[in-house]
């Protein structure tokens, strides 16, 4: 996960670029960015600002050549579904086929209210939005009339040059049903070591896949981890996290792989090149 705003260090473009280039040089396979306007602390303090996700993804695509790029996750509420499908096809072309389109329903009401987006029926809106995006990116001409969105013979031209993978993040039964119906990949976050929350989410996912008659092996499972380097920073004990040695971090990656996760999306704290290098070292150890 690359930094995106005031709550992160190295969140100006030179710092973000350095981390992206370090990750690619160290052999990591993907770079991810959050999508928010702002974060309002629960205590009512001043909001933290964030840079716009898709603009940064496009810039990261231009300064890298191998790593996959993805939002984790693009908020459906902030952009029209036809626009997102068009954006995805274009960025996949610009990046040479490296986009994973991570999407979700959104959750942080203060940013919705600040910028005039409706806060009601988030999952209902997402259900319609996701169907339109999926059908457009799969080459259909889409006429759709829902409660929240309409299209008339919408089509993406030129079409995507390949099947752009769509990742959906969500943990409740209704969202997991949409994962089972539409997604190529699923993400659950944030964790340190596996815990009872993860057990419950994996159980609910399996139930959703079974209910929709989908082969479990056809869905890629990804997990979001928060990993601190104890030599560089003191962990925030209020958040789930992992802060072990390099060898223990390698074992953590193996542990999640044994649970069926093919990819770990890691917030490496602090956001420094050394944290990226350390994560890459652990990934190499985990494969050895």
Tell me the pLDDT tens digit for each residue of 161-179.
999 999 999 999 999 999 9
Cα–Cα distances in angstroms (integers) from residue 92 to residues 85, 131, 137, 138, 154, in the given order = 11, 20, 11, 14, 19
Tokens of 19: 């981390």
Task: Name the pLDDT band for 49 (thresholds 50, 70, 90).
Answer: confident
| Over residues 20-49, mean pLDDT | 94
Give the model's pLDDT for residue 147.
Answer: 98
Please determine, for residue 8, whether its predicted confidence score (pLDDT) is greater than 80: no
Averaged pLDDT, 234-238? 83
d(CA 144, CA 262): 34
DSSP string, 128-190: HHHHHHHHHHTT--EEEE-SS-EEEEE--SSPPSS---EEEE--SHHHHHHHHHH-SEEEEEE
Question: Looking at domain 1-166, which of 1.10.10.10, 1.10.8.80, 3.40.50.2300, 3.20.20.30 is its CATH number?
Answer: 3.20.20.30
Query: Which strand ranges, in their side-by-side order, compose the sheet holding 220-228?
Result: 74-75, 101-104, 166-169, 185-191, 220-228, 263-269
Domain ranges of the chain: 1-166
Whether 7 has a pLDDT exceeding 70, the answer reads no
Q: What is the pLDDT of residue 10?
A: 59
Q: What is the mean pLDDT of residues 90-116?
A: 97
Mean pLDDT of 23-43: 95
Q: What percent of the chain has pLDDT over 70?
A: 98
């Amino acid at each position: 996960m690359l930094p995106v705003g005031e709550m992160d260090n190295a969140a100006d473009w030179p710092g973000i670029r350095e981390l992206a280039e370090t990750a690619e040089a160290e052999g990591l396979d993907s770079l991810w960015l959050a999508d928010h306007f702002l974060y309002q602390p629960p205590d009512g303090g001043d909001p933290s600002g964030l840079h716009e996700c898709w603009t940064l993804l496009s810039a990261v695509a231009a300064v890298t050549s191998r790593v996959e790029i993805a939002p984790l996750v693009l908020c459906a509420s902030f952009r029209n579904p036809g626009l997102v499908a068009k954006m995805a096809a274009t960025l996949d072309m610009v990046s040479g086929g490296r986009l994973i389109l991570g999407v979700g329903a959104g959750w942080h009401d203060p940013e919705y209210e600040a910028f005039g987006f409706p806060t009601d029926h988030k999952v209902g809106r997402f259900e319609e939005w996701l169907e339109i995006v999926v059908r457009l990116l799969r080459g259909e001409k889409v006429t759709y009339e829902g409660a929240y969105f309409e299209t008339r013979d919408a089509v993406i031209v030129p079409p995507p040059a390949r099947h752009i993978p769509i990742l959906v993040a969500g943990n409740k039964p209704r969202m997991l049903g949409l994962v089972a119906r539409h997604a190529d990949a699923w993400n659950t976050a944030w964790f340190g070591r596996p815990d009872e929350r993860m057990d419950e989410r994996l159980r609910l996912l399996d139930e959703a896949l079974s209910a929709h008659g989908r082969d479990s092996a056809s869905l890629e499972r990804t997990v979001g981890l928060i990993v601190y380097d104890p030599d560089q920073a003191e962990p925030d004990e209020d958040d789930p996290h992992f802060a072990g040695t390099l060898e223990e971090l390698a074992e953590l990656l193996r542990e999640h792989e044994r649970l069926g996760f093919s990819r770990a999306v890691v917030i490496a704290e602090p956001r420094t090149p050394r944290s990226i290098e350390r994560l890459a070292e652990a990934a190499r150890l985990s494969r050895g």
